Structure 1
Amino acid sequence: MDIVGNGFLARNLRPLTDRHHDVVALAAGVSWASGTSEADFARETALLRDTAEKCAADGRKLLFFSTAATGMYGLAEGPGREDDPVTPCTPYGAHKLALEELLRDSGADHLILRLGHLVGPDQPDHQLLPTLVRQLREGAVRVHRAAARDLIDVRDVVAVIDRLLALDLRAETVNVASGSAMPVTDIVDRLRSGLGLEAVYQFQDAGGQHVISVEKLRALVPYVDSLNFGADYHRRILADFTRTFVSGHGGPVHGTKGVI
């Protein structure tokens, strides 16, 4: 596998570089769900167009990473499914959907993966868990009461990608997520406890949640059943995240004390 990019996902994909030699993984571009930079969107569009043209000419498969988060499925009635019509509800979601359509029309062999919220060491500061950790360390964290997020360990994502590519799927779109969403209030509670922090919670009556369908993923990759997705899975990966964070910073982190 050739990997385009050097960010969080690209680094985690490196164990696959000696496998799937006919695949180009485009692990670069916009990864900030709340970002709305037209310049960044344009750069990613140009990169995808150029990479798809090269793959079509070389007869290689392009692995493209889209999103299964709120921006894509937030308005879905029932679980978000790959084959159902989608109405994105954020500029980021609309951008990713437009890129999917560009790739489908490019003539390049491809596989599109719509990802949940990845969890793992050394995530970019703008992603969900590092953002919450930063706010906790500052002593106050903003919590949307109604929000919930589908979390999945990036190591499990890489293992699933390896198995999906072995199937030689063509022109398919697959959700790669846990299939269940954890309330953001619970995520914050577990981060706070695991990091030994105290902070003021600033609640906002906002936020959305949705369920990502993983029926197609389970049918294609029975290995997924062994991952035991659900509430216990989310608790485990959050515990792994906080242990790694504490270890990387030399011990427990202490923030501003406040009232929860």
Structure 2
Amino acid sequence: MEIIGTGFLARHLRPLADAHPRVTVLAAGVPRHPLPDSEHRREERLVLDTLEHCRSRGRTLVFFSTVSMYGSPGCRGREDDPVVASLPYGEHKLGLEKLVRDSGVPHLVLRLGYVMGPDEPAYRLLPVLIRQLRAGLITVQRGARRDLLHVDEFVAALDLLLATGTVDEVINLASGDCADISDVIDHLELHLGLGAERAYADHTVSHCPSVDKLHRIVPEVAALGFGPGYFRTAIDRYFATADRADP
């Protein structure tokens, strides 16, 4: 596997470097929102350059998109449903998905939930929540739900998916356990032995993907331990070592 990128996901994918030799994984995109348009243009150029690289060498591109495009009224989080992105980041990723699909290059577009684990950047969800808990005040957006996926299961699921030889598909790569943020905070408080005042913000959207297609294509992912309450297991493993407990 050829891995483009040096960030969180790219580092955790290194154990697969000797597997799937005809696959290029693009793990160097825009990591969050909001960011300036210049960053979006940078990622668009990177995607176009990588598509040309794959085309000229007969390689399959794996492109990481996002489930944050889900959340509009009536949305079921299914890959084959019409999507109206509720955030600019989702709109940006939808546009890149179209570039990949229209390129003629063999590809997999993987819409990721919140992939979490050791050494993740400090601006991401769990490190932010932990810092707020330790400060004694945490902001909760009403109605927020997120699919948490530990990076170890992410790597294992991707390995299984690539082994099937599936190409030219859009697939949600997530746990299927879309947790209420209040429940996530409850479990963090339990683990840390802390309590914090909660300030409730405006209602927000829930980014909950369906994993029916993933399980249909790769039934083996059922052995990875997904299911109701998986988010608690993922959080417990996040805290398995001291360095994970202090992001």
TM tier, smaller? over 0.9
What is the identity, as a one-letter code, of the residue corresponding to 1:248? D
Is 1:112 aligned to 2:98, yes or no? no
Residue of structure 1 in register with 2:237 after alignment: 240
Is 1:153 aligned to 2:150, yes or no? yes
Residue of structure 2 in register with 1:35 after alignment: 34
1:194 is displaced (CA, Å) by 1.1
Q: Which of 101, 109, 113 is the aligned partner of 2:98?
A: 101
TM-score (norm 2): 0.94
Distance in 1 (CA, whole Å) between partners of 2:123 and 2:172 is 22
Higher alpha-carbon deviation: 101-110 or 76-85: 76-85
Residue of structure 2 in register with 1:4 after alignment: 4
Is 1:60 aligned to 2:59, yes or no? yes
Higher alpha-carbon deviation: 83-92 or 219-228: 219-228
SS at structure 1 position matched to 2:238 = helix
Q: 1:8 to 1:210 in 2, by over 3 A?
A: closer
Describe how 1:67-78 pairs up with structure 2 within 5 A. 67-69=66-68, 72-75=69-72, 77-78=74-75
8 Å CA contact retained: 1:76, 1:87: no
SS at structure 1 position matched to 2:80 = coil
1:76 is displaced (CA, Å) by 5.4
Residue of structure 2 in register with 1:81 after alignment: 78
Identical aligned residues as a percent: 47
Describe how 1:114-153 pairs up with structure 2 within 5 A. 114-153=111-150
SS at structure 1 position matched to 2:108 = strand
How many matched pairs? Answer: 247
1:108 is displaced (CA, Å) by 1.4
1:78 is displaced (CA, Å) by 4.5
Structure 1 unmatched ranges of 5 or more: 254-260
8 Å CA contact retained: 1:63, 1:110: yes
Residue of structure 2 in register with 1:256 after alignment: none
1:151 is displaced (CA, Å) by 0.8
TM-score (norm 1): 0.90
| Structure 1 runs (4+) greater than 3 angstroms displaced | none
1:210 is displaced (CA, Å) by 4.6
Distance in 1 (CA, whole Å) between partners of 2:166 and 2:39 is 30
Structure 2 unmatched ranges of 5 or more: none
Higher alpha-carbon deviation: 159-168 or 75-84: 75-84
Backbone CA RMSD of aligned residues:
1.8
What is the identity, as a one-letter code, of the residue corresponding to 1:30? V
What is the identity, as a one-letter code, of the residue corresponding to 2:22? D
Residue by residue over 1:188-234, the C-alpha shift from the partner in whole angstroms, topping out at 9 and shown as x without a partner, is 11112212333221112412225311111001111121233233311
8 Å CA contact retained: 1:76, 1:210: no
